[in-house]
Structure 1
């Protein structure tokens, strides 16, 4: 009864030890030196009964600063967007919730259709020809795009804008080391990629330019100008984007992008303490067969009825090792379904309305905050739903965040963690969930800390 959920009885244990030739469990650990073993008992409580354990776990969960108790102005890659209740209802159905890769199409039509719809939505949003069946997240999708560009152009240099999310840049650097790629970072100018520096750095050895728009500072990049620069040298333009922004911004595919990636988290996926999320990956037709991951295709059977199958997928990462297009195997079909349900629920007009609310509320917040003499916006480039706010130098940012939390607000992201020159700068995110009252009160509370 001590381990009532584990199918191992004392008799089972005795028989297993006899089979492998030991008399005591201690003998399993005899190869571990005594000096590195933990001596004594671990400093944890005795076993709790079910009621006490649930009470304890609720107490621990209650320490989290969640979006229901606090008004969040924190973004930087994960956002507090509205999630229609229908999403959790659909993705909780067992046929989706427990689904694995649909290798047998004849019994996986529902799952395959859901993935196909996701691909179709991504193509429509991005203006690209083909999308795959999702990626692990947006950051790894960007690294995979760099790998695709190198393989497609047979070049080894990647140009990376410093305005890309710092974590995504780190992943690109990590991937590049394994693929022996050279990564060159371009500085920013007024919150966007420095186009003059980019033009001087791009050569015929460059496989791709990687840029994010809206970028990490919330600013909108001149994607067309960047695409023109790299295309003059026959390289690829890779754009990472916030899919929600595409409700009102021009699609990257219409601006010259060859590869468009991003994270689908804004499309009905909960922040969930940092993940998991769902990446997307879309390309123009010439790079369709070089795309990582899976693609679901639509066809007809011998009776002329519509059906769905996995296509352009040889599972080559299992057999070609380092020569494979990609070694990524993760697929986020359940969260891709969340994004599909969100987009189908919102519809074309709904997506435009939500994107416009993000834009308008963020600009209203920027206006209210900069009315205070202590605050200013260092970057004047157009922005979507995030912007950088410059604070007075005399404040400790961690203490400021604690003070905001005590007042009921999750403050913005401290940019000094990743950009040493921006120690007293905060990245503020405003979504459709923030009300005018919340924005006004946040501005008043933050302004009150700088009399």
Structure 2
């Protein structure tokens, strides 16, 4: 039932004031043929019928908790403590979407401040914003930020080829009408893609006076983690060339591996979905972005600071908000007008209840379970695990049959959601599967996958 706050008398009075007799007269400028077109809509349903329809649609989906799931590729199934939803859905948080009147939004501002502080601790950076749509838009904004910091005089950006393909696609969308060249992301052979250090060397060789930034993943889309000692060398070479180093991270992995701030990254971005946010069919998710204090005035989004009022009481304020909503459009660093504050709050609650020890335990479980699965699969005839470098919770397997066929058999015959078909991301990687393991995968599930893959080998007759 619609809620219409105005009485008929009030509506007549409003129409009289603006000089029309009927509500329909407001649409007089629309050509009559298009003014009130007939809509081919189905018959109206009762609430009960709508419920039946929605339940039928829901039953067509397989929740990740119902089947064993080994699919990652940028969206991950992690344990979400019950306290997150309990707090997230409280009315004072659920409705306080954005602090347009910051002085009366102390609770929202404090949550953002805590989020920023935790992201800084996690990434090893000096300042973080709160926040972005998702990891891909955060990377695109970081590229634009690097172009601004180099005063638009450096039109080249080097992208590591095994950054998430969707992230690279969003960056291309952002810069397609700018005088910017994206290099490094395409044209590599399978042998080159298997050797991340070689890829790094090739990109370093392209650093020159036209380079604004080098973007590297940590870990990459294939799960591999480049050694921090080697990345320090990369950072030195990038800075010697006058460019910036952008790191794309998985926040869970940072609980186990050295943070980018310690090996020289200038801007750190990533997807915050693993931090207590459900898969939700792809969103809403959370973009993480952090940088050095020297670059803070070019950081897009909101930055919340802590201060004291005239009576000495602690308070929170929007220290910087370089969005077009708040300042002149030509001075804005971004036209993105949302910060998915509710998702940032979910991540804040997750990080606070897990703590550094709990977060490290999650990362450790992901790491060791993934390596256990890789060792088991490596012993199967016809399969090859070619992720040789240290990896986090994803790795690549060359399969004896098409990946789509293996995934279909896993789903239909074994009730297992298999890995990502890498041929979808790059034809060079056809016949290779990206498998993901998190703390949610039991040993029984892992062993069942290994047994199923062994049965599905080249001679499978199912």
TM over 0.5: yes
Shift of 1:324: 2.6
Residue of structure 2 aligned with 1:265, choices 273, 278, 288:
273
Q: d(CA) in 1 for partners of 2:28 and 2:147?
A: 52
- Say if 2:197 is the partner of 1:197: no
Rate the CA distance shift 1:57–1:269 in 2: closer, same or farther, 3 A: same
Shift of 1:27: 11
Aligned to 1:432: 439
CA offset digits 1:8-45 (Å, max 9, x no partner)? 99x89x9789536669x999664459xxx89x945x4x
Q: d(CA) in 2 for partners of 1:436 and 1:427?
A: 19
CA offset digits 1:341-375 (Å, max 9, x no partner)? 11111111111111000000000011111211111
Aligned to 1:243: 251
After the TM superposition, which residues 349-364 of structure 1 pair with which residues of structure 2 at under 5 Å, given as runs?
Answer: 349-364=357-372
- Aligned to 1:339, what secondary structure does the other structure show? helix
- Aligned to 2:385, what secondary structure does the other structure show? coil
Rate the CA distance shift 1:247–1:314 in 2: closer, same or farther, 3 A: closer
- Aligned to 2:321, what secondary structure does the other structure show? coil
**Normalising to structure 1: TM-score of the pair?**
0.91
Aligned to 1:143: 140
Q: d(CA) in 2 for partners of 1:267 and 1:218?
A: 18
**Normalising to structure 2: TM-score of the pair?**
0.89
Q: CA RMSD in A?
A: 2.6
Unaligned runs of 5+ in 1: none
- Aligned to 1:183, what secondary structure does the other structure show? strand
CA offset digits 1:169-196 (Å, max 9, x no partner)? 0011111123331111254542526122
Rate the CA distance shift 1:346–1:179 in 2: closer, same or farther, 3 A: same
Q: d(CA) in 2 for partners of 1:133 and 1:340?
A: 11
8 Å Cα contact 1:192/1:215 also seen in 2:
no
8 Å Cα contact 1:209/1:238 also seen in 2:
yes
Rate the CA distance shift 1:123–1:439 in 2: closer, same or farther, 3 A: same
Q: d(CA) in 1 for partners of 2:304 and 2:329?
A: 23
After the TM superposition, which residues 346-425 of structure 1 pair with which residues of structure 2 at under 5 Å, given as runs?
Answer: 346-392=354-400, 395-406=401-412, 407-425=414-432
Q: d(CA) in 2 for partners of 1:191 and 1:410?
A: 28
CA offset digits 1:87-107 (Å, max 9, x no partner)? 000100011111122132332
8 Å Cα contact 2:302/2:322 also seen in 1:
no
8 Å Cα contact 2:115/2:130 also seen in 1:
yes
CA offset digits 1:268-300 (Å, max 9, x no partner)? 110101111001110011101110000000011
After the TM superposition, which residues 14-163 of structure 1 pair with which residues of structure 2 at under 5 Å, given as runs?
Answer: 18-19=21-22, 30-32=32-34, 41=40, 44=42, 46-154=43-151, 155-163=154-162
Shift of 1:398: 2.7
Q: d(CA) in 2 for partners of 1:319 and 1:179?
A: 23
Q: d(CA) in 2 for partners of 1:403 and 1:235?
A: 48
Unaligned runs of 5+ in 2: none
Rate the CA distance shift 1:403–1:26 in 2: closer, same or farther, 3 A: farther
